[in-house]
Amino acid sequence: MDPLRPTRVLVTGGAGFLGSHLCDRLVREGNDVICADNFYTGAKSNIGHLLSAPNFELIRHDITFPLYVEVDQIYNLACPASPPRYQHDPIQTTKTSVHGAINMLGLAKRVGARILQASTSEVYGDPTVHPQTEDYWGNVNPIGLRSCYDEGKRCAETLFFDYHRQVGLEIKVARIFNTYGPRMDSNDGRVVSNFIVQALRGDAITIYGDGSQTRSFCYVDDLVEGLIRLMNSSTDLTGPVNLGNPGEFTMLELANHVLELTKSQSVMAHRPLPSDDPTRRRPDISLATTHLGWEPEVVLREGLKRTVAYFSDVLAASDR
């Protein structure tokens, strides 16, 4: 890369929840940023404030088709991440992970770019190892309702490492655990947005099973910091690297936090567990801490407070 010019960065899925926050940070730091999104789950409102920035460009594009741009770095974030969205069109979900990876890796090879894959903790499936370390191969159902996402991301990791070994491509693979914050879609079916929106509306809070299943929740600003540190780390650190908050909470604990912060009188309504829903999920982030000097800074209660404020504004605007 020419040290005298800004780094040219492509962010696929850049109008999504996580992608838009990443674009914010990259633009703010002076990079030339291209956001590519087909708006299946992304929204122009997430990046509308960036459209007037001279170092930001938006392209409507589906990465299951090739893309031809000149860039130095590629963050491949494109793929629906919430179960209702990725199960709505499972074939397209798999195509996005697999064909999309092939196309973005081909682009990186042509232009000599470094490329980061936004993989997921879902590659661990319903884990038999706790907390999950990067050397754990996972416990995934290859033919279940969630397989389009889980196995699509696992295949994408395979492609990344094969490109690295076969053609020497500079790759980074991040395994992202549950992330939350402003700009989450209120209808995307993820637990944090579900609980907050239900509580603010006074609806019953949906608890699947007995609520004892656990997740770890990372605030979006912390996650973006981890992605950028991984992208710019030494070439010998390919990953996969777990990025998430090692704090572990049951669904009942999360629901009680939300009820307290929203001062809601909502009751809890229990429903059967969805198919292949993991019972426990918590990252071991030793690798990220050691090699990236990274660990989350925003505690759950503070992050939830910011997210509740965001959804309060969204719901108030929709009621006008």
Domain boundaries, the chain: 8-178+218-245+283-297
What pLDDT digit, counting tens, does each position of 271-289 carry? 998 877 788 899 999 999 9
What pLDDT digit, counting tens, does each position of 150-196 carry? 999 999 999 999 999 999 999 999 999 999 999 999 888 889 999 99
Residue of 208, 292, 291 lying closest to 250 (CA atoms): 208
The whole-model pTM stands at: 0.95
- In angstroms, the CA 174 to CA 120 distance is 7
In the chain, the percentage of residues whose pLDDT exceeds 70 is 98
- CATH number for the region 8-178+218-245+283-297 comes to 3.40.50.720
- Other beta carbons within 10 angstroms of residue 312's beta carbon come to 13
**Contact assessment for residue 263 and residue 200, using Cβ atoms and an 8 Å cutoff:** no
Q: Which of the residues 149, 163, 180, 219 is marked catalytic?
A: 149
Residue of 257, 270, 263, 256 lying closest to 211 (CA atoms): 270
Statement: residue 46 has pLDDT above 80: yes
Tell me if residue 149 is catalytic. yes
